[in-house]
Structure formats: C-alpha cells, structure tokens
Structure 1
Amino acid sequence: MKKGIFFTGLLFSLAIPVHAQDKQVVDSIANTLETRGLLTPKGTFEIEPAVSYSQNTSNRISILGFTQVPAFLVGIIELEDADQATFTTSLAARYGLTERIELELRVPWVYRYDTFRKRVGNGQASEAPRTFTSKGGALGDIEGAIRYQFNLESAPFWIGGVRIKSDTGESPFDNELDENDIFRDPPTGSGTWSIEPSMTLIYPTDPAVLFGTAGYSWNLGDDAGRDLDDDGEANDKFNLGNSFFLGMGMGFAVNNRLSFSLGVNHRTVFKPSINGRKVGEVLQLDSLSTGFSLALTEKSSLNLNLQAGLTEDAPDVEVSFSLPITF
C-alpha cells in the first residue's frame, strides 16, 4: 500500500475521495487493540452492531483454618474450578461532529453462564466434586465517548479521547448469593461509573501501518449496600481499582478488500479498596490479538478479532465480530 494512498485515507474527514481499503487497514488494527482509529467524517453517521464471546477458567485453593506446624493443617481445604462464558451483543452509534471531533454511544447486552466445581476435603476423607451453575442476561454498562484528532495532514497522527462508562448493568453488590455463595443471577456490570482518557498514535510506514494506544481508567467507587469486610458496617464504600492500559500493533492490506493485523494488549488493574483500605492484589492482563477486516461495500465492512490470554488473570480466549455501516 502506498504511503500517499494511506494519507488520503487519513484525510477522509476532509471529504477527499478515498478507497475503502485506506480506512479499512487502520480500523482493523483499532479493533485488534480494542480502541478506535480514524474518526467518523464530519456530518457522517455510523452504526456498528457487534457480538463477542469470551471464555475464562481459573483454579483456586482456599484454606479455611490455621497451621499448627508447617506439615500439619487443621481446618478445611476447598478446591474450586470456575468456568465463565460471556456473550455480549452491542450496538454502537458514532457521529462526526466536526472534521476533528467524533461522538460515540455504545449499548451492550450481556449474558453469562458460570460453572463452579468444588471439592471439599476434611482430614483423610473427601467428597466428590459438586457442580454449581449461575446464568442470566441483562443490560450491560452503557458507554459514551468523545474523540479529537489533533493533526490532519502530517504523520504521525494523534487522536485523544475520553470514555465514560455508566453503572446501568447489574452490580455484583446488588445481586443475591445463594447458600453456596454463588450468584443467583450473575452480574452484567461493574456497579460503578468510570472515566477513561486515552491517546492513540497512527504512523504509516510503507508497507505497514503502526498503531499504539495508552490510557488510564478511574473507577469512581460507590456504596455496596452491604457489609463487605465483616466490620459491622452495613453499607461499605468500595472501589474496584483503577487501571492502566497499553496496546500496540501493525496492519497490512492484503488486497483492495482484505486487511490483516496483529497486536498486543496489556492492562494493569491496581488493588481494589473497601472503605479506603486496599484489599486483594494487583492484576496483570496481557493478550495477543489478531484481526481481519473485509470490505463488503464502500460503506460497510465485516471485522473479526481474536484474542488469546497470555497471563493467568486474562481471559483465555475472546472472539468478536462487528459490522460497521456508514450512512
């Protein structure tokens, strides 16, 4: 792909004629890195239906008791294996307010199917594994975003943005637990508002397009409506922990309709807190992504993104399809 042709794609918001391939490469990389690339042109409206599936498994050993000597344990050892499958359908709407400003609104619907297998051993005796399930679907956390492109004519191209996530999904603190400490209806949201500023870099270098993004997410916290730390307080204040994310990748145009991209994503989630006291541990989420984008018409394309987790905290696999349509 010629660099001059790609520059034409970047000037799409200036109403200069472009081919679908030019914008397609950048959008393919953006989808791989879970962000946005080129902005929607001024006066143009775009909708993007999408569907995704993620699978995550974890093994946890909880020791309820105390140790008298290093080799002798008094108490109960509980082994737990959790499988979590999440299906998400969403509809995003974007509008080019000016040549440099884009507005976005995204509404998700989330369905979760969680399976837990527990085995409890006490002394020399042990029980057979028991299986528990929790499933259900509801509205997720609605998101709104605004993005601004700082430069239009000279590379590298910089795009800044702010994303605001609501608490419209079912909070984990609002959902009831059964006698086995399993959600009767799994939560579909985080239960708190968050603000996420970010910065994106797009740099064309023949024959590839390089892409990078970084940002920080602030969780505003909220009241849990229950006692979370057994201190007698009936309404504890919680904060799920802020996070920092970083992604980078590159993309290539295979032909005038198909593009291919590779990327790496990282997110560090800092410790959550209850009533201002830090609890839990820092999480490291890393994933390797690959994406494909196929231009169906000059105003629509089909995007496929596949992510594989590289760390224990990251989801094992995530597959998503999206169909952006420009009007």
Structure 2
Amino acid sequence: MMKKRILSAGLLLSVIGTVQAQDKQVVDSIANTLETRGLLTPKGQFEIEPSFSYSQNTSNRISIVGYSVLPALVVGLIEASDADQATFTVGMAARYGLTNRIELELRAPWVYRYDTFTTRAASDGGGDEVRRFNSEGSALGDIEAAIRYQYNLESPPFWIGGLRIKSDTGESPFDNEVNDQGIFLDPPTGSGSWSIEPSMTLIYPSDPAVLFGTAGYTWNLGADAGRDLDDDGLANDKFNLGNSFFLGMGMGFAVNNRLSFSLGVNHRTVFKSSVNGQKTGSILQLDSLSTGFSLALTDKTALNMNLQAGLTEDAPDVEVNFSLPISF
C-alpha cells in the first residue's frame, strides 16, 4: 500500500495535484503533468522532496530603424538580436498531513541563471557587427507556502482545492540594475512581488487510465520598484505584474506496481502588467505539452521526472524537472 502511494504521488507531484483513489498506483501517476499536488499526505505523515529543474528559452527579434522605399526595399539600420536564457533551480519542499483531507506545504528554491544576448547590426554601411553580452548569477528564489483540501475521499471524481501564496524573497527584476543595452547586470531570481493563487483539481479514475484536470487564477499584488521604470527621472515607480489564469488536463497510466507515466497539456494566459497605473506590454499566451513518469524506488521513496515542451512563442522552449519525494 505504501509503495502504491509513493508511485501515485509521483506523477501528480510536479505540476498539479493529487488524490486518494481506489487504485492508487494509477491515480498517483498523474503527478508530474500539472502544477499542483494530488494524493494528499496522510494525517500525521511528513514528507520532504528535493528537486532539480532546468529551463531553456530562446527568442529572436529583428528591429528595423528607417523607412521603406518599396515593400521589398528598406533603407536604414536593421538589427537582429538573439537571447538564450538558461535557468537551473534546486529546490526543497516539505509537506505535512494535518488531517486526511488537509495538507500543508512549504517550498524554497535556489535559482541560478545564465543569459546570453547576441546582436548583429547590418545594412549600416559598415558591415556586420556582432556584439555579445552575458549575464549570470544565483540567489534565493521566491519561497512558497500552500494548503490543499480534498473534498471527498470515497468515490470519484475526486476534487482538491488549493491555495498557494508566493513571497518576494527572490531578487526582483524591478530592483536589479541594467546596462546600456537593457540587460541585467545580475539576473533576477524572483518575480518581485507577492502573489495569491487559488486552484481546483479534478481526478477521475477510469480503468485503465486516470483523467485529471486543473484550473486556477494567479493574483499578483502591487509593489514598489527600486529603479526608474518609465524614464521620468524618478525612482518611486509602482508596478503590478499581470494576473493570469491557467488550465491543464491529461491522463495517467500505471505500467505496473512500480512505474507509471502521464501525458498532458497546459495553458496559461497572462494579462498586461502596469507601471504607475498605466498598462504596459502585451497579453501572453503560454501553452505546453508535458509528459512525466514516476518510479517507486522503495516503499517510502520515488523518483519523478517531468518534461514540458513549449508550443507558443511566449512559453519556455523546454523545462525538465526531477524530484525525489521521501516519506517519514
């Protein structure tokens, strides 16, 4: 029974929630596909989860400063830029089952970022000029706390409500200094503001698979910036990151009593941010496909892996996460 629980809490760990179902080895297999937990920690049980994740994002942009003589002829300066951003995160999470229906969680990440920016100026009469800028650094990320409540324990579908609160302990992108090219001298490791995220997870066992879905809303609180954001010469700007809502769905399968895997799709819409009450930027659409597996190593330990591939331009190209939940 313990091995089944480890397996199930496996594929429902990394990106979404968990549940307590009749066939736990299948139900728990969905853990790594969404961004919440499922199968809650039993009453009085304690669990720690070290994790490691890697994220890679590449973007290309072409800017034209000049005017068009003909639709196919541009007079002026053409600048092409490429940005490669790699993020490594080492985290530690602790969970405790307050009751069979209520789970508490605390998570702390350490973030290392290495960003490379390449610009190439052409059509300026002086040949191509390639310039490269690097930005790297590491620091504590945003610490998170969460509480989850499972509404029903006996019969499916299983419903789990969650509330996550994210702090601003990481280095803020609105405080860190930038160079003349607008590149951070020390990459930020946090979002710069507190946020509150309510969510709801549904898990429905349907032999031989387990269907799951999640939905939620992220509300970002406003904060003060440590530098001038609107170029008015004043450094007392206030910013408010755009709120967002997210949806996710997929299914999990148990291969045997030790191994399970899941497939899913995730979507998040991020609304415009604001600086001093004025909307800025654009609405972002982040979509990704994800797959994950969970392997029970012992009755109290499992190895989980989750891979996400971005489908839209705004989404990270790839994200890989490994975690090792250990129950006590």
Match status 1:276 vs 2:277: yes
For residue 106 of structure 1, report the CA deviation from its aligned partner. Answer: 0.1
For residue 156 of structure 1, report the CA deviation from its aligned partner. Answer: 0.5
TM-score by length of 2: 0.89
User: Partner letter of residue 104 of structure 1?
Assistant: E
Q: How does 1:80-91 map to 2 (within 5 A)?
A: 80-91=81-92
Report the RMSD for the aligned CA atoms in angstroms.
2.3
Separation in 1, partners of 2:174, 2:70:
37
Q: Are the equivalent residues in 2 in contact too, given 1:119–1:129 (CA < 8 A)?
A: yes
User: Partner letter of residue 308 of structure 1?
Assistant: A
Separation in 1, partners of 2:76, 2:224:
34
Structure 1 equivalent of residue 252 of structure 2 = 251
Structure 1 equivalent of residue 214 of structure 2 = 213
Deviation per residue, 1:9-46 (Å, 9 max, x gap): 89xxxxxxxx9995454343122112111110000000
Identity of aligned residues (%): 78
Q: How does 1:52-201 map to 2 (within 5 A)?
A: 52-63=53-64, 65=65, 67=67, 76-121=77-122, 123-201=124-202
Deviation per residue, 1:259-307 (Å, 9 max, x gap): 0110101011111111111111111111101111000111111001111
Structure 2 equivalent of residue 38 of structure 1 = 39
Separation in 1, partners of 2:234, 2:179:
22
Separation in 2, partners of 1:240, 1:131:
29
Separation in 1, partners of 2:179, 2:42:
50
After superposition, the Cα gap between the structure-2 partners of 1:54 and 1:294, relative to the gap in structure 1 and judged at 3 Å, is same
Separation in 1, partners of 2:116, 2:28:
35
TM-score by length of 1: 0.89
Other structure's SS at 1:189 match: coil
Other structure's SS at 1:297 match: coil
Match status 1:289 vs 2:290: yes
Structure 2 equivalent of residue 13 of structure 1 = none
Structure 2 equivalent of residue 262 of structure 1 = 263
Other structure's SS at 1:183 match: coil
Deviation per residue, 1:88-111 (Å, 9 max, x gap): 010000000012110000000000
For residue 154 of structure 1, report the CA deviation from its aligned partner. Answer: 1.6
Other structure's SS at 1:126 match: coil
After superposition, the Cα gap between the structure-2 partners of 1:21 and 1:320, relative to the gap in structure 1 and judged at 3 Å, is farther
User: Partner letter of residue 93 of structure 1?
Assistant: A
Separation in 1, partners of 2:121, 2:25:
53
Structure 1 equivalent of residue 315 of structure 2 = 314
Separation in 2, partners of 1:141, 1:75:
44
Separation in 2, partners of 1:56, 1:21:
40
For residue 69 of structure 1, report the CA deviation from its aligned partner. Answer: 6.1
Q: How does 1:11-50 map to 2 (within 5 A)?
A: 22-50=23-51
Other structure's SS at 1:90 match: strand
Structure 1 equivalent of residue 16 of structure 2 = none
For residue 127 of structure 1, report the CA deviation from its aligned partner. Answer: 3.0
Structure 2 equivalent of residue 16 of structure 1 = none
Structure 2 equivalent of residue 298 of structure 1 = 299
Q: Identify unmatched segments of 5+ residues in structure 1.
A: 11-18
User: Partner letter of residue 199 of structure 2?
Assistant: S
Separation in 2, partners of 1:156, 1:222:
40
Q: Are the equivalent residues in 2 in contact too, given 1:20–1:257 (CA < 8 A)?
A: no
Q: Are the equivalent residues in 1 in contact too, given 2:62–2:80 (CA < 8 A)?
A: yes
